[in-house]
């Protein structure tokens, strides 16, 4: 029973070592390619990574949630849609209207989707600009808004805090999740790509090997023994031949040495 288990372990080890894919991954001891973080930052065939796709979804949620909160705030007044449209959009005033918060969310959405989804940049400058501009506008909005005449100040405060929180959440997620995970996945993939030519050498055009991936395709000249009946004279050439017809492929054999005058 023990010999049977030892034989199975030896066969599995030999099979794993002979697998080029296993050899490629085993040379990177400090990288674990099965972790969820590396898989989240990996770009399959140059497409968008899953962590960046989640970021774009979060930006879209920011726009939709802010618009929904604004609609709830204005509908709590008990006015018609035409009256709301005239007061909030047509007769806009920064002291009484909350529609500017929705416009800021729209601008933030367009800016982030353009640079991080369409252009696919890997820099935090755009998210810093959008978050900083949003925070500056919301702080100014708090000081100039007409709070004493507000109908439902609780919903309006919640709308401002929601926009502020979502803007900072987008900045945190991009800077601490999207960019580091994509950089780590790219760093982990680069050594594996660089080792590929060493594991799969490119042969000249028209040259085919009948030995598969065997490493015994190269031979060194065999020196003539001291007791050889006919020692090799100076000026003679050593010719290496491989009998490809009588011997099966992928077999080990010796080169025949022939001497000929130049």
pLDDT digits (tens, 9 = 90+) for 68-116: 999 999 998 888 889 989 989 999 999 999 999 999 999 999 999 999 9
CA distances for 142 relative to 37, 39, 98, 148, 183, angstroms:
39, 42, 11, 12, 39
pLDDT digits (tens, 9 = 90+) for 213-249: 444 455 455 555 555 555 555 665 555 444 444 444 4
**Residue the block writes with tokens 């879209």:** 60
The C-alpha angle with vertex 74 and arms to 68 and 79, in degrees rounded to 5, equals 135
pLDDT at 23 over 50: no
Tokens of 74: 């204005």
* pTM of the model as a whole: 0.61
């Amino acid at each position: 029973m023990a010999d049977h288990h030892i034989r199975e372990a030896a066969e599995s080890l030999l099979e794993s070592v002979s697998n080029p894919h296993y050899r490629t991954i085993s040379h990177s001891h400090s990288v674990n390619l099965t972790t969820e973080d590396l898989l989240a930052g990996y770009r399959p065939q140059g497409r968008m990574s899953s962590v960046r796709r989640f970021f774009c979804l979060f930006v879209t949620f920011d726009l939709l949630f802010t618009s929904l909160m604004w609609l709830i705030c204005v509908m709590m007044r008990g006015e018609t849609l035409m009256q709301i449209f005239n007061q909030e959009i047509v007769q806009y005033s920064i002291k009484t209207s909350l529609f500017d918060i929705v416009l800021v969310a729209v601008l933030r959405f367009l800016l982030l989707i353009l640079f991080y989804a369409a252009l696919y940049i890997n820099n935090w400058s755009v998210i810093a600009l959008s978050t900083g501009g949003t925070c500056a506008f919301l702080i100014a909005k708090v000081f100039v808004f007409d709070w004493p005449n507000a109908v439902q100040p609780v919903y309006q405060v919640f709308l401002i805090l929601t926009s502020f929180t979502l803007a900072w959440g987008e900045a945190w997620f991009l800077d601490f999740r999207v960019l580091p995970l994509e950089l780590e996945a790219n760093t982990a993939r680069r050594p594996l790509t660089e080792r590929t030519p060493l594991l799969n050498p490119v042969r000249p055009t028209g040259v085919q090997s009948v030995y598969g991936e065997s490493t015994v395709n190269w031979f060194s000249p065999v020196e003539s023994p001291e007791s050889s009946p006919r020692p090799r004279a100076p000026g003679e050439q050593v010719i290496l031949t491989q009998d490809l017809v009588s011997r099966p492929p992928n077999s080990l054999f010796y080169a025949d040495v022939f001497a000929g005058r130049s």
